[in-house]
């Protein structure tokens, strides 16, 4: 019992279920030794994270890119063993140690995915903002926040 209590103090993974306006949302919080590693949101029945935040590092949100057909996603899931669901990739990025904005944009641009999507990425410094447009095999475009438009508060 003491080992279990020690484990729970070191690794704390909480899942909070929120039922609001007829929708079910799952909020996840992973902390190690009291330090929050990441937080994220998914929907009932979904594995992975649709939106995630890594404190003092990066935030990522997923948006649909209406390209292709459902059967293409299924084909990728069955035959491309390297392709992963986009929500798994978001969770992997925020759970990676020492992840920063540049590393997050690079990782989100390179990993093969099962479906297309837009990934909105924000960092902690002035000018750290990007929209990564993805297709299954790679990146279509990375639109970065202009450093001219980003002014210090």
CB neighbour list of residue 110: distance below 8 Å, 6 or more residues apart: 138, 139
pLDDT at 37: 83
Asked if residue 151 is part of any domain, the answer here is no
Asked if residue 150 is part of any domain, the answer here is no
Structural domain boundaries enclosing 77: 2-144
pLDDT at 52: 92
What total number of domains does the chain contain?
1
pLDDT along the chain (153 residues), means of 10: 48 53 60 76 80 93 81 75 88 91 95 90 92 90 77 55
Asked if residue 71 is part of any domain, the answer here is yes
Alpha-carbon distances, residue 109 vs 11, 13, 118 (angstroms): 30, 28, 11
Asked if residue 152 is part of any domain, the answer here is no
Asked if residue 77 is part of any domain, the answer here is yes
Asked if residue 153 is part of any domain, the answer here is no
pTM to 2 decimals? 0.76
């Amino acid at each position: 019992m003491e080992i279990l209590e020690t484990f729970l103090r070191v690794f704390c993974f909480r899942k909070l279920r929120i039922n609001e306006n007829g929708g079910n949302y799952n909020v996840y919080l992973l902390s190690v030794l009291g330090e929050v590693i990441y937080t994220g949101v998914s929907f009932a029945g979904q594995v992975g994270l649709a939106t995630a935040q890594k404190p003092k590092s990066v935030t990522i949100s997923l948006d649909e890119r209406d390209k292709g057909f459902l059967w293409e996603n299924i084909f990728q899931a069955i035959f491309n063993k390297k392709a992963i669901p986009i929500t798994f990739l978001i969770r992997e990025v925020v759970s990676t140690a020492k992840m920063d904005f540049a590393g997050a944009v690079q990782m989100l641009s390179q990993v093969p995915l099962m479906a297309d999507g837009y990934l909105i990425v924000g960092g902690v410094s002035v000018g750290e903002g990007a929209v990564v447009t993805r297709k299954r095999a790679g990146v279509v475009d990375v639109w970065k926040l202009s450093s001219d438009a980003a002014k210090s508060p």
